Structure 1
Amino acid sequence: MHIPRFILQPAEALSFLFFPNHCLHCKAEMYHGERHICARCRRLLHYTDHPHIHRNELHRLFDGRFPLTAAAALWYFDNEGPTRSLLHALKYGGGLSAGWPFGAELGRRIVNHEFKAEALCPVPLHPKRQRKRGFNQAEVIARGISHTTGIPVWDGLKRVRKTESQTKKDAWSRRQNVENVFALRWPNKPVPSSLWMVDDVITTGSTLESACITIAPQAQIGILALAWAQKA
């Protein structure tokens, strides 16, 4: 049923009044029109300039590891700042709905990028982990990117082995942990000739490296993420 806009707006205002939104970082009650993060905390987000620089610092992180055409993250990760809160909420609950609009924001940043990909490929979760969590945060982000760029989402990559959490592992252990964990879902079907591989956050890049190596012989690849945990 279509609800007239003049009725919907007061309804939205009443909903906000009695069920206020709270910032995912500072937990303060947000003003009408703010979503997921308040204006004060949004100013603390440290945006990268990756979309405007060819072979930027994130791109160079993968030098010598596999053929990479482009790379961009929306933000730098700050362990004490709002990026940590946003990514934690996206991955583990409450902020699932934030993944789509922030993905859309990343999409707006790369819509005119010189790398013109045919598809977006979210890094897959193992089926058991996805069933437990109820969603794949990388896919949510990819859907947002798709909305603003028009690039379709391709789900031709699957995870064939469940791995331990990467959180407390060093760089070498991370790479060992994710070796040979991905495979093509349809080995006999053609892969898009160019694609963006999408994830929520990049630390050492081991998971993305493993995923990209699975596809790299058949496609040009770029990588996208909401945040990069840059090492000093």
Structure 2
Amino acid sequence: MLQMPVHAGEVPIAPLPALLRNADRPFHKDATGSLLPPRTVVFLEGFARSPRYRVVDGCVATFQTLSDGRRQVIDLVGPGRIIGLGAGDRNRHSAETLGFTRLEVVAEPLAASDLEVALTETLARSQALAMLLGRKTAPERVASAVLDLAGQFGRPARQKKRGAVTFHLYPTRTDLADWLGLTVETVSRCFTRLKKAGLIDIQHNDLVTLLEPANLARVAAGDRALS
């Protein structure tokens, strides 16, 4: 039977069968600071509000799920960023790790300056997601995602052209599809097109290198079409 990462007195506001997938490795507060395995559920939508956590290493997906299992990934969160922001006494979304991840509890209450920075960033990313889902084409969405992930996880690429950036691709094609509002097949096709255009390289399906960051940004902005 799947276990849920909840404590005595925590009652969900709605049935959550879809949220319980991959919940066989529930997160416990006493594991803070240890390395959590991939697909560890940090907290669940609808349950009593969890502590806020800062991602030290790794990647966390935040998402909301409909009763039929359809999922919208709200954000992919990298090192230095905080998850669990928001008002109210219930979690407004769920969170799970996408790779080996280390978290730390954020002391409450947050300093006013830190809270302002975190909320401003959250709002900006929400607005960017709304634009992406509402107006961008599939190649523009995937290019935007690659640039975003490179900004969070990228490092200078060795043995590549000057200015190239490489990063580990934590999300699967399914995670990316749920983030970008696309099908898995469309995400895969867009990666292939970006690779054929010489804008990125992909090794072993999880190591991505940006070969032409400026031109990739043009694709993401709609200023350059892919052939």
* TM-score, normalised via structure 2 length: 0.28
More helix by share: 1
TM-score by length of 1: 0.28
Q: Which has the higher strand share?
A: 2
